[in-house]
């Protein structure tokens, strides 16, 4: 095959396959390595896969099985750090002295991994919760991406990574 013919065939190949690639380009990988702890009815617990943002939904792709949560149906998203902040406030500290260990923070896992909890409702209004685990530091990024696409949250993403001490206000 002559050089111009080769260039032309490559160009034609690119032209024909471009729509497919552009379709995939809309799929944004939110977390390349995630594990479903529980909560998706179509995927078995402990399945490993990746979290993908596509077509207004968060999809968990675990090879043969996959499940998805429409972003519009999401009521709240929590990372492990959100949970610690929510429990470790003043109320939590006071309750720590209560019998049966009230205020101490009870985590599902040891802190080596990050946990992302998604609270959502289906078409019938039924409450669901999906829990994913992923490498440390990933959950906050996924939450930020979900918020960016319109997911509701009770703890804003801006609070992520903020120190517990409030910043002093600058006087005008």
Partner 1 sequence: MKRATRFGILTFLLGALVLLGVSRMQLEAQTPTKPGPTAIQIQMIEGEEIKLPPDFQMALYENLVQEVRRTGKFQQVYRDGDKRAAEVPDLVTLRSTVRGFKEGSARAREVTTVAGATHIKVHVELAGHDGKVLLNRDVEGKVRFFGENLRATYDFAKKVAKLLQQSS
Interacting residues with partner 1 (CB under 8 A) = 37-39, 76, 78, 80, 82-84, 86-87, 89, 91-92, 95, 98-110, 115, 117, 119, 121, 124-131
Q: Which is nearer to partner 1, 89 or 148 (CB)?
A: 89
What is the token pair recorded at 10? Answer: 């490559």
Q: If phi over 0 gives left and psi between -120 and 50 gives alpha, with beta otherwise, what is residue 88? A: alpha
Q: Which is nearer to partner 1, 70 or 103 (CB)?
A: 103
Nearest Cα neighbor of 49 from 66, 69, 72 is 66
- Rounded to a whole number of angstroms, the minimum distance from the CB of residue 141 to partner 1 is 17
What does each C-alpha distance from 114 to 45, 136, 146 come to in angstroms?
Answer: 17, 5, 16
Summarize the chain as % helix, strand, coil (round to 5): 30, 30, 35
- Rounded to a whole number of angstroms, the minimum distance from the CB of residue 118 to partner 1 is 9
Q: Which is nearer to partner 1, 7 or 91 (CB)?
A: 91
- Rounded to a whole number of angstroms, the minimum distance from the CB of residue 152 to partner 1 is 14
């Amino acid at each position: 095959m002559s050089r111009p013919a080769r260039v032309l065939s490559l160009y034609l190949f690119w032209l024909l396959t471009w729509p497919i690639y552009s379709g995939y380009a809309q799929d944004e990988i939110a977390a390349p390595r995630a594990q479903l702890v529980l909560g998706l009815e179509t995927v078995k617990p402990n399945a490993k896969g990746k979290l993908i943002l596509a077509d207004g939904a968060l999809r968990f792709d675990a090879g043969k099985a996959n499940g998805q949560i429409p972003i519009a149906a999401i009521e709240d998203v929590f990372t492990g750090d959100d949970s610690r902040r929510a429990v470790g406030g003043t109320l939590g500290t006071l309750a720590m002295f209560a019998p049966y260990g009230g205020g101490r923070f009870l985590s599902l896992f040891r802190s080596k991994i990050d946990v992302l909890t998604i609270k959502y409702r289906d078409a019938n209004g039924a409450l669901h919760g999906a829990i994913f685990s992923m490498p440390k530091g990933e959950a906050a990024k996924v939450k930020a991406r979900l918020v960016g696409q319109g997911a509701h949250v009770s703890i804003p993403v801006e609070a992520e990574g903020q120190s517990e001490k409030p910043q002093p206000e600058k006087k005008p």
